[in-house]
Structure 1
Amino acid sequence: MKKPLLLAGLVFMLGATAYAATDKDASIKNRATALARIQVEKAHLDEGQYVQVKNLNIRMLTEMEDIKARFAAEPAILDERLAVAQARYELELTALMRPAQLALFNQARNNMTALTAPR
């Protein structure tokens, strides 16, 4: 009697874990798509660039989640790894853009941050 219940519990736990992973992947893809659409709008990217940016965003968000999970107990290492990942992402993102697009993107990014001086 115990073996079938144990087996059923194990199958249920594995199914729940797989569902959570799928849900997390879907969430990352949705966030990456939304971010890519904003970036396309701000920098006037073409369709090919959109696909590349979306894939880059998926990789970046997945890497960020992985870093947060792995180094949650070590804040100093967490901050360092997140900063390195962010810098690599920015470098790859800007490499995908043409100079005029990069200027538009940087202008939009500066307008969204507190770095701009009040007028």
Structure 2
Amino acid sequence: MKKALFLTGLVLALGATAYATGDKDATIKTRALALTRVQVEKARLDEGQYVKVKDLNIRMLTEMEDLKTRFAAEPAILDERLAVAQARYELELTAMMRPSQLVMFNQARNSMTALSAPR
């Protein structure tokens, strides 16, 4: 009887873990899709770029979540790794854009930050 209860508890625990992981993946994909839509609008990306940027956003958000989990107890290392990941992401993102798209994207990004120059 104890073995059956233990096995049932183990199956439920594994199921909950799988569900939570699936939920996290769905959340990341939803966030990546929303971010990609904004980027497409701001930089007027074409369909091929849309797919590449969406994949890049999913990878970036997944990496950020992984870093937050792995280095939660070490804030200094976490900040450093997040900064490196962000820089790599920005480099890859801007490499996908044509010069005119990059100008539009940077203008939109600068207008949304608190540190943008007054106009």
Smaller-chain TM-score bracket:
over 0.9
| C-alpha distance in structure 1 between counterparts of 2:17 and 2:79, whole Å | 28
**Following TM superposition, by how much is the alpha carbon of 1:117 offset from its aligned partner in structure 2, in angstroms?**
2.5
For the residues of structure 2 that align with 1:117 and 1:108, how far apart are their CA atoms? Answer: 13
State the match for 1:66 in structure 2: 66
TM-score (norm 2): 0.98
Structure 1, gaps ≥5 residues long: none
In the aligned structure 2, how far is the partner of 1:31 from the partner of 1:8?
34
Match of 2:53 in 1: 53
Instruction: Give me the identity figure in percent.
Output: 81
1:76 aligns with 2:76: yes
Gap regions ≥5 residues in structure 2: none
Q: Where does residue 9 of structure 1 map in the other structure?
A: 9
Equivalents in 2 of 1:57, 1:67: separation in Å?
15
The answer as to 2:98 corresponding to 1:115 is: no
Cα distance, 1:118 vs. partner? Answer: 2.6
Deviations 1:84-113 (A, max 9, x none): 000000000000000000000000000000
SS at match of 1:52: helix
What is the deviation of 1:116? Answer: 1.7
- State how far apart, in whole Å, the 1-side matches of 2:8 and 2:92 are: 46
Aligned residues: 119
TM-score when normalising by structure 1: 0.98
